Structure 1
Amino acid sequence: MSTDSLALVGELLDPAALAIVCGGTVLAVALRTPLGELTRAVGALRTLGRTRFDAEPLLQQITALDRIAKRHGALALDRSVIADPDVKAAIAAIVDGAGGDAVRTLVDHRRQARVERHLAVADIWCGAAEVAPAMGMVGTLIGLARMFATMSDPSAIGGAMAIALLATLYGALIANLIASPIATRLRAAARAEAFERARIVAPLAALAEREVPRAPSVQPFANVA
């Protein structure tokens, strides 16, 4: 990086303005967000570099489980190692004798609950994108108030003006280059996963429908002579 670039970065870096905007944004989001959801919002940053969810490996596993059930019965599925929580819950329900409709309802409910959790995390980042410009305006007002309070000291006017201008800049950058893109990507990933997970509902329901225990047929009483 050239000397001119370093000088420009140094001119645009003001710790006071950055502390006002970042600290205010974090505080505002933390005050209106439950701790558990806030933790998930931070943890969701790890997922941004991952590829989109693909249900194909799950479909292949369900096919393999179906073959096991055909050969050895539904109870044999209880010994299978299943990593995905939705498939694991559905197979547990099938082993317990749940029918196709019950398994379909279970998987759909878990899928919807997962979508709601993902969208709640995206809403937190969307809220941060809304708060950051407001915190930038707060920093601007603080800088202007400091500038007017130090009009008698020309050497202090420049620092106060820097806070006033850079706070607005930081708010806009955090909102449009950090928080809003993160929220958009999380929403897109949630929609893609919801669509992919819908593919596993039908084969799991079909497996349950075939393996559901059937009541034995009742033989009519023989006529007593």
Structure 2
Amino acid sequence: MNFGTFLDPVALALVGGGTLVSAILRTPAADLGRALAALRTLPRRRFSADPLLEQITSLGRIARRHGPLALDKSVIADRDVAAAIADIVDGRSAEAVGDQLRQLRLARIERHCAAADVWAGMAEAAPAMGMVGTLVGLVAMFVQMTDPQAIGGAMAVALLATLYGALLANLVALPIASRLRAAARVEAFERQRLLAPLVALAAREQPRSATVRAIHEASEAA
């Protein structure tokens, strides 16, 4: 079988370009950028909270020995955990730390869902763009009925556009959307595990943070 017969730049441009234009028109630029950036996460392993839980345990030992202000020098790659530790160093209440972590988690879930929705929208648009390409090819075929060579090219566009639309939807866009949603569900569950230890650390260190801050302010005033 000659696979070159299944390649048609006109049909590919109609389906691929139409699907991309549809995504651009229906999606905010920020969500479109996240959808493209999310492709880099597909080969990665699913998110696990275990390394972060180990780091939180280590941070708790540091705070117990040297006080909460010692946490300010810690290097924390995860932004949510870093924000929670910064609040703990500042002496915010456990309730405030928990509320911020919940908001950050919900915002992250929303971003992940928005990226998956972009690819799901492309999966919906691709077959429609394939039908548009088919109609364009049929119109070109009927217009050029007197030229047998032109009829063949127009018929190829009409048939391949439908094929490209089905393949783009079911073998590219829809699998990507499904994998992004699955990864988002796993990460949302795993990040929920971070809430309790960070809130417990905040509750334990809040009185010490307030005392250290009061002493520091008093020494500055003197």
TM range (shorter): over 0.9
Q: Secondary structure of the residue that 2:207 maps to in structure 1? A: coil
Larger Rg: 1
| Distance in 2, Cα, partners of 1:100 & 1:210 | 9
Other structure's SS at 1:43 match: helix
What does the per-residue CA deviation read over 1:101-126, in whole Å, with 9 as the maximum and x for residues that have no partner?
11111111101100100000000000
Paired residue for 2:174?
180
**RMSD (Å), alpha carbons:** 1.2
Q: In structure 1, what is the equivalent of residue 75 of structure 2?
A: 81
The 5 A counterparts of 1:11-50 are: 11-50=5-44
Name the structure 2 match of 1:219.
Answer: none
Look up the match of 2:136.
142
Correspondences of 1:191-202 after superposition (within 5 Å): 191-202=185-196
* Residue ranges of structure 2 left out of the alignment (5+ in a row): 212-222
| CA distance in structure 1 between the aligned counterparts of 2:47 and 2:136, rounded to whole angstroms | 45
| Partner Cα distance (1:189, 1:22) in 2 | 26
1:169 aligns with 2:172: no
Q: TM-score, normalised by structure 1?
A: 0.91
Q: CA deviation at 1:152?
A: 1.2
1:97 aligns with 2:95: no
- Structure 1: gaps of 5 or more residues: 217-225
Higher helix share: 2
Distance 1:181 1:102 in 2: 39
**Counterpart of 1:199 in structure 2: which amino acid?**
R
Please list the CA deviations of residues 81-100 of structure 1 after superposition, one character each: whole Å capped at 9, or x if unmatched.
Answer: 11110000000001111111
2: CA distance, partners of 1:65 / 1:80: 8
| 1:69 Cα deviation from its structure 2 partner | 0.9
1:152 aligned to 125, 146, 149, which one?
A: 146
Q: Aligned letter for 2:205?
A: E
Asked if residue 132 in structure 1 is aligned to residue 163 in structure 2, the reply is no
Q: Report the alpha carbon displacement of residue 74 of structure 1 after superposing the two structures with TM.
A: 0.9
Provide the rounded CA distance (Å) in 2 between the counterparts of 1:57 and 1:43.
24
- Percent identity among equivalent residues? 66
Report how far residue 184 of structure 1 moved.
0.2
Distance 1:114 1:43 in 2: 14
User: Residue 213 of structure 1: CA displacement?
Assistant: 2.1
Name which of structure 1's ranges 67-76 and 119-128 shifts more when overlaid on structure 2: 67-76
Where does residue 220 of structure 1 map in the other structure?
Answer: none
Count the aligned residue pairs.
210
Shift of 1:39: 1.3
- TM-score calculated relative to the size of structure 2: 0.92
CA displacement at 1:38 relative to structure 2: 1.1
* Offset at residue 31 of structure 1 (A): 1.3
